[in-house]
Amino acid sequence: MKRDEGASVGIGTLITFIAIVLVSMIVCSTIIITMEKAFKNQTNTAEATEQNGKIIIDSIFIYRFQPCWVDEFVTTDPDCSDAPVGNQRPWGHHQLLMNFHLAPGSTSIEVTNANYVVRCENEGVTDLDGDGINDGREVTTPRFSSSFSGSATAQPRAQGAPNTAFESGFVTKLNDDIRLNLLEQDQSYKIKLELFDNMNNNGNDEERNGCRISTEYDTTLLITLGGGSATEYTLHFRSYEVGQLVI
């Protein structure tokens, strides 16, 4: 009898041990599966919210060259010293037209996450041709930056230009004029690039940032999208003629 009782206790203990092991394995498997699902969900969420890609530039042209603020006055004098009295300030409109699309593999990108920067040589004083006529106000920084949703330091719509989304400096589709907030693949777009800060430069001690359209040197254009790296382009101005292809 004692042997049978001992054997029964041993078998019961073994069965209990095996049951505990099985339950533990089930619990561990459940935890692992749950963690895998959570990790996948976090990864998918991150991939869904991250915006990155690259712009393919189809063309860039000179769109508006009004360096002296006078729309009917055209000059190649770099410091506007031959402009009418009151307009001898080379801080007007230096604008380019860029046609572009997103590269394959790019995510949809909000225009607030698309940015451009132009860099150029520091020309120094505004008496660029040495005739002693201009006032000598210097460009503080030969660089200008903006998002594709517009700039707070430039007035993109020139005097007499229509009040449209494109003229106001916003991205539109190539054959449309509706302001866009999202860039997507398989679409062609256009935007007007302002090169110069023309809103904060009248006073003698004001900051003056940006680049002029000039045949004397090349200008560098940098474009970034979302979390992607910057793409660099060289803009070469062979003339001041509107419609001149620069890239």
Question: Which of residues 46 and 198 earns the better pLDDT score?
Answer: 198
Gyration radius from the chain CA atoms: 31
Residue 28 has pLDDT above 60, yes or no: no
What is the average pLDDT score of the chain? Answer: 77
pLDDT per residue as tens digits for the range 51-99:
888 899 999 999 998 887 776 676 766 667 777 777 767 778 889 999 9
Q: Which residues pair with 143 in a beta bridge?
A: 119
For residues 13 and 17, give the distance between their C-alpha atoms in angstroms, rounded to a whole number: 6
The confidence score (pLDDT) of residue 5 equals: 54
Q: Which of 152, 164, 145, 153 is nearest to 224 (CA)?
A: 145
Q: Which helix (H) or strand (E) holds 33?
A: helix 2-49
Q: Any idea which residue has 């256009």 for tokens?
A: 190
Helix (H, G, I), strand (E, B) or coil at 36: helix
Residue 162 has pLDDT above 70, yes or no: yes
